[in-house]
Structure 1
Amino acid sequence: MHSVLLNATSRAKPFAPFEENETSTKERTWKREEIVVIFVVLPFFQPCKAVSTLGRNRIECSSKHIFIFPKNMSIDHRGGGGVLNHEQPHSSSFLSLFKSALYVWHSFVRCVGVYAFVQIGKTIVIYKKKYPYKRVVRGWVPWSGSEHAEDVLVVDCTHAKNKTITHHKGSSTPREVKVGDTSTENVLHAIKTRHRFTTKRGKVSRVTCDHFDIDGLISVFSVLHPNDAVKYEEILVEAARIGDFREFEHVNVVAPASVKALRLCSYINQVEKERFNLPFVGDEKENCLLKYKHFLEYFKGYVVACGTCDVDRIHEEFELTMEGEEEFSKVLRDAKLVREHKNDITKWFEVSTTVVKLPKPVHYYALFGATVGTDTCIAIYDGKRYEVEHKYTTFVDVQSRETQPRLDLTHLAKTLNALEEDDGIKRNFKWEVAGVTDTGPLLRLHDLSASARLTKAERYQHPDQRKINPSSIPQSAFLETVKSYLTFGQKEMARYAKINPLAGREVDCVGDGSGYLRGKNWTWKETQTLNANVDWSAWDRERTSA
């Protein structure tokens, strides 16, 4: 095992991927192949073309060519042309020695040439096999939303003019590239299929992104280091999913690649928090520039470390100081807590929602890990503390499964506020939620005092890092109200889509016949149109009459 020193705190240079030791068997195999090739090619290098036959025993030689003198051959000086005659038995010892030396020298040069030819060919084959994807993008550049540059590739965000590879809605990403759930998957697919954006044909030499997050970082890294990205594809794709969708899949089976990817995500999160700032804090443009400069310098070494050995052996095998151990351990503890309450996890597949009941708030990676396959999470904590959140999976276009269009939760917030006031006690709390186009609309009970209201950065943080206020609504009534709201809304949108087919859609919006919408690549225009045609007054009448 090669020992590679990398200490990020001392700003050591990142290490390159170490080479695996080839076995002696492979070395012997190559030697045997070389010998076979030499003996096969050797006859074609015989200098027979430099010699012309004049007769049965007479051969003419040209002074411009080197040739092998046969044994018992002497020079016939008759005619002055330099003719070799087998019949002349007398030859000087000097000439014989010269002929022998010349033969040995020519054979040596010939063998060296063949061996060099074989070695060059072998080197080319090995290099092509090890590095099949040529790096055409040479560097990262800061984001410029207005600049139109033919040689700039935009990843994990949209741009009105430049070449783009992302999973975001409304982007100009080519259809043949948009095959994954994350931008990282789309970029890697473009690399492996040698799409024009990742080859010389695309005339791309720079890459950019308008924000910093795990999926964006890995997308940029993959474009800059295509061979390393493909080599560690499984871990990088899983890390992008954990980072973007916050889904550390752990409830049933924990895959080794998921654990390694979680370790990589924990490193990125901790370094971002300790050395720079949290997302949505400060000048995003300036912070983005500093973060990319730092991580692109050191990230490759950590990818190799996580991809090469078990996470608990990284420090000893690589002598590596890798931040993130604290968050990594916390996610594993919280995931264990979620699994202990596995029987309290309920999935409402008809409305793509998961209900998770826990004694206390946990890390997002552990919480959303129990919601894989659905798009809305209802978290129920002890003390009548509730949160409802639309996941990031409906903010972007995922290709692995069909989704439902996002349902606006604004009217649900009004209904819950009315239920809160029914207890006859005036309280300084209010249910609030962001609009349907927010990255992750979070419906929660806010404290209306100015000092207690959460900023977007605080809402983005993990549930265990923010205060969740208790509600006066009983748990059963809360769940019944939310489920009724989601069911009514989805059915109303399906009814409208059936009467008024959505222009340009290539899927059957009511394909499963259940009365709920299913499809891929929902546009914001479609989502807003469907929500605008839901008659919530009918739901109010239905709820109050029940």
Structure 2
Amino acid sequence: MENILPKHSAGTCDAFSALSSRRSVRAKSASSSPPSSNNRRRFQFVQYGDTLPANYSMMKTIACDGNVSGATVQLTHWTGNETEEKYYADTSTEIAMNFIEHNNEDDSGEYADAIVLNNHYDTDGVLSCFALLEPEFALKHKQIFIEAAESGDFGEFSSENGVKLDIALSSICDPLSSLCVTDDDELAYSLAFEKVKGVVERLNEDVGEELWKEGYDQVLEAEKVFERGNARVRRSEKDARLAIVESRTEDGYLSSQAVHKKLKEIGADGVGENPVLRVLRATKDESSGKYRYFYEKPSYGWVKKLQKRREIPDVDADVLAENLSGSSSSSWSKGGPLGLSAICQMNE
């Protein structure tokens, strides 16, 4: 193929209420921080594409998981970032943790009163910003914070609770989830900040299970598809840098977390002995015997600069799709279900 070969649910609100029933509830403003006895940082949501608000131009500001032009400091893995090397990591959440640990979080620090900025809603954004607002709690739960960010941004299965936390936070603002509360990113941050502690502390309890059960069951179902032998992951015999995911159309697009577990088993994930550079999903329609293909980077491959994981070479997806369409009887187009890490797909 290339040179390597080719939203609102009453049940959700009730669950969130149960998780925080014993906590003081702050005003629902995304420009406020979660309750803390010694935290002086505040959060401000900035619309995607906007620059730093003028009223913050004379203040210390930290753009966390997202690029906000004009911010004093960047703590992000986004393309084109200027994050300092001493803080850098694969996820913005781990970058924020490094920042906290490096600066020892004393009240006299240069950024103790900084405004924390973000311009989009996702798990890595929530947890990286929350870490700066609630550093003591974040460091106590550092590993699960990072694992949830890896699930959200990279579709990885680092741990069961990491995936569950990602699903719970994602559901707040996911239009595809039956638990979606809002499609407003700013409001979603406000809701998430109120609930992070309760969700994290009760992940191993039945309370609040409905926040992640639907999404986690989908991951488990995808795992069962592999266990039943109806799907498999293997390296290409012609090029070990290509992983092939074979499945049936009737089983749908298998979750990235389930695929990641299988890649990990063969040492082909980003931190494995021999990481793959491309993934080809081949889904077979049992009734016709025909296949449909999705050509992708590994799910973390959209990040241009990586520390622990293998950096993934880029490709001109438009040119590749055009070449594939011209050299086969099928039509191909840029993109695919994997979003930022999708390259191209065979059209239906």
Q: Structure 2 length as normaliser, TM-score? A: 0.73
Deviations 1:26-77 (A, max 9, x none): xxxxxxxxxxxxxxxxxxxxxxxxxxxxxxxxxxxxxxxxxxxxxxxxxxxx
1:330 has 2:330 as partner: no
CA distance in 1, matches of 2:144, 2:199: 12
Deviations 1:247-305 (A, max 9, x none): 225xxxxxxxx111111122223332333467xxxxxxxx2111101111112110111
1:458 aligned partner: none
1:275 has 2:280 as partner: no
In structure 2, do the counterparts of structure 1 residues 331 and 194 end up closer, same or farther at CA, with 3 Å as the change threshold? same
Q: Which amino acid aligns with 1:299?
A: V
Aligned residues of 1:190 and 1:198 also touching (Cα < 8 A): no
CA distance in 2, matches of 1:222, 1:403: 26
Question: 1:226: how far off?
Answer: 0.8
- Alignment coverage as a number of residue pairs: 292
Residue aligned with 1:402, SS? coil
CA distance in 2, matches of 1:16, 1:173: 38
Question: 1:362: how far off?
Answer: 1.6
1:402 has 2:310 as partner: yes
Aligned residues of 2:155 and 2:300 also touching (Cα < 8 A): no
1:175 has 2:85 as partner: yes
Q: Which amino acid aligns with 2:254?
A: V
Q: 1:188 aligns with which of 97, 122, 142?
A: 97
CA distance in 2, matches of 1:196, 1:172: 21
Q: 1:303 aligns with which of 184, 192, 200?
A: 200
Q: 2:255 aligns with which of 363, 377, 387?
A: 363
1:138 has 2:41 as partner: yes
Q: Which amino acid aligns with 2:310?
A: E
Deviations 1:127-162 (A, max 9, x none): xxxxxx995443211216322353221100123321
1:385 has 2:288 as partner: no
Question: 1:408: how far off?
Answer: 2.0
1:259 aligned partner: 160
Aligned residues of 2:172 and 2:182 also touching (Cα < 8 A): no
Deviations 1:409-466 (A, max 9, x none): 3333123212443xxxxxxx7311159xx832331123xxxxxxxxxxxxxxxxxxxx
Residue aligned with 1:403, SS? coil
CA distance in 2, matches of 1:320, 1:276: 15
CA distance in 2, matches of 1:293, 1:237: 21
1:217-232 to 2 correspondence within 5 Å? 217-232=126-141
CA distance in 2, matches of 1:327, 1:210: 25
1:216 aligned partner: 125
Q: 2:242 aligns with which of 322, 338, 353?
A: 353
1:165 aligned partner: 75
Q: Which amino acid aligns with 1:157?
A: G
2:5 aligned partner: none
CA distance in 1, matches of 2:309, 2:256: 22
2:152 aligned partner: 243
In structure 2, do the counterparts of structure 1 residues 266 and 11 end up closer, same or farther at CA, with 3 Å as the change threshold? closer
In structure 2, do the counterparts of structure 1 residues 339 and 236 end up closer, same or farther at CA, with 3 Å as the change threshold? farther
CA distance in 2, matches of 1:408, 1:134: 50
CA distance in 1, matches of 2:239, 2:291: 25
1:96-107 to 2 correspondence within 5 Å? none
Aligned residues of 1:271 and 1:324 also touching (Cα < 8 A): no
CA distance in 2, matches of 1:198, 1:370: 45
Deviations 1:102-140 (A, max 9, x none): xxxxxxxxxxxxxxxxxxxxxxxxxxxxxxx99544321
Residue aligned with 1:393, SS? coil
1:21-170 to 2 correspondence within 5 Å? 135-143=38-46, 145-147=50-52, 148-162=57-71, 163-170=73-80
Residue aligned with 2:188, SS? helix
Q: Name whichever structure is richer in helix by fraction.
A: 1
Aligned residues of 1:137 and 1:204 also touching (Cα < 8 A): yes
Q: Which amino acid aligns with 1:293?
A: S
Q: Structure 1 length as normaliser, TM-score? A: 0.48
2:266 aligned partner: none
Deviations 1:356-393 (A, max 9, x none): 11224322322344342234321111131111112452
CA distance in 1, matches of 2:58, 2:261: 40
In structure 2, do the counterparts of structure 1 residues 379 and 343 end up closer, same or farther at CA, with 3 Å as the change threshold? closer
Q: 1:376 aligns with which of 278, 287, 309?
A: 278
CA distance in 2, matches of 1:218, 1:157: 13
Larger radius of gyration: 1
Question: 1:196: how far off?
Answer: 7.7
2:345 aligned partner: 444
Q: Which has the higher contact order (CA 8 A, sep 6+)?
A: 2
In structure 2, do the counterparts of structure 1 residues 201 and 16 end up closer, same or farther at CA, with 3 Å as the change threshold? farther
CA distance in 2, matches of 1:351, 1:187: 35
Aligned residues of 1:353 and 1:378 also touching (Cα < 8 A): yes
Q: 2:20 aligns with which of 14, 18, 22?
A: 14
In structure 2, do the counterparts of structure 1 residues 444 and 192 end up closer, same or farther at CA, with 3 Å as the change threshold? same
CA distance in 2, matches of 1:341, 1:140: 48
Q: Which amino acid aligns with 1:386?
A: Y
Aligned residues of 1:16 and 1:300 also touching (Cα < 8 A): no
